Amino acid sequence: MWKWLHPYANPEVSYHFTGKLIPWLSALAAIFLSIGLVWALAFAPADYQQGDSFRIFYIHVPAASLSMGIYLGMAIAAFTSMVWQFKLADASAAAMAPVGAVFTAIALITGAAWGKPMWGTWWIWDARLTSELILLFLYLGVIALHSAFEDKNLAGKAAGILTLVGVINLPIIKYSVEWWNTLHQGSTVSKLGKPSMSVDMLWPFLFCFIGFALLVATIICIRFRSEILARNSIRPWVRALVLAQTTLPQVSLSQVKSTENK
Amino acid sequence: MQFDSFSAFLDMGGYGFYVWLSFGVSAVLILVLIVSSMIGHQQVINNIAIRQQREDKLRQVRKQGKNAKRNANQVSTNKSAEKVAQ
């Protein structure tokens, strides 16, 4: 049943497959984001309590849920690599970490900029905000571990252990607004499948969310391809590809030949 | 359209600073991420190319060295052969 998946475990096949995906993903991301963001900024109604500051929601919530989604993806990749010794999974985890870190930072910054006018403070050490900050530190730790070792397999293992330990933070972020008293409001979109949100606010949100998700997928594909090349640099297919795509002047080879003739 | 004029759009009902701060910082961070990922990809390719060229050069030099040694050996054996003939 899973046999169709097997060829994609080959680095060369996944490199070319993700290369074909990128134009489609990025075009769709551009379409969804431009529709969603214009709708969110100019056409969606203002909130009856929060006024136009509510428009921050259209970035804040997609960024926050993607920051957790990317972490979950990274944890699944780390688990796969650890259990089945599947090397490509390490490459994908290393590709996801910086993207996740940026979206966590966006969630924190937009949250602060929304908190200031609504709560009267940029930051408060309550459960939701603190656990999201810890998520940022987990991402930074994973990035640091991936680049701390010359041996990429060892680096993947170390980063994978940190990733898997850090998974405990995900339910804490998700349920922090229910478990503890907090300034942060509860969930409005995914409330038991029945969003407590007006439809003319929900649609632009869905466009923004799908657009950001496609954008994340595009960036992860770009970084995943770099990771594949860096980890397979001695393979013949990489050597051929590098020779064709390098922007460096090809002088040294001809120089060697000319000195040989003298 | 929720706003009557462009200035009203920029003002965002008094929350302009916070709304545009959020959208601006997010746009900058995402653009930096995209550009650095694309530059990083080319850098990986160039780094591999540099290493590849260095390896090729080493291999050529090694081959040259071996040839030179073999030539030197041949010359010396020729000379000793000449001596024997004399």
Helix (H, G, I), strand (E, B) or coil at A190: coil
Residues of B in contact with A109 (CB under 8 A): 22, 25-26, 29
A106 to B25: CB separation less than 8 angstroms, yes or no: yes
What's the Cα-to-Cα distance from B29 to each of A33, A105, A127, A226, B70, rounded to whole Å?
16, 9, 25, 20, 61
Q: Which amino acid is at A136?
A: L
Give the closest-approach CA distance of B80 to chain A in angstroms: 28
- In this predicted structure, what is the pLDDT of residue A262? 44
User: Cα separation of A18 and B47, whole Å?
Assistant: 21
Better pLDDT: B77 or A20: A20
The band of A250, judged by pLDDT with boundaries at 50, 70 and 90, is low
pLDDT of residue B81: 66
Quick: pLDDT tens for A51-105: 888 899 999 999 999 999 999 999 999 999 999 888 899 999 999 999 999 999 9
Residues of chain B numbered 24-83 and touching chain A (CB < 8 Å): 25-26, 29-30, 33-34, 37-38, 40-42, 44-54, 56-57, 60-61, 64
Q: In this predicted model, what pLDDT tens digit does every residue of B50-63 receive, in sequence order? A: 998 898 899 999 98
Is ipTM beyond 0.90? no
The model carries a pTM of: 0.86
Interval A157-175 mean pLDDT: 92
Residue with the larger pLDDT of the pair B40 and A53: B40
In this prediction, residues A99-128 reach a mean pLDDT of 92
Please answer yes or no on whether A222 and B41 come within 8 Å at the CB atom.
Answer: yes
Residue A251 has pLDDT above 60, yes or no: no
Nearest Cα residue in chain B from A261:
B64
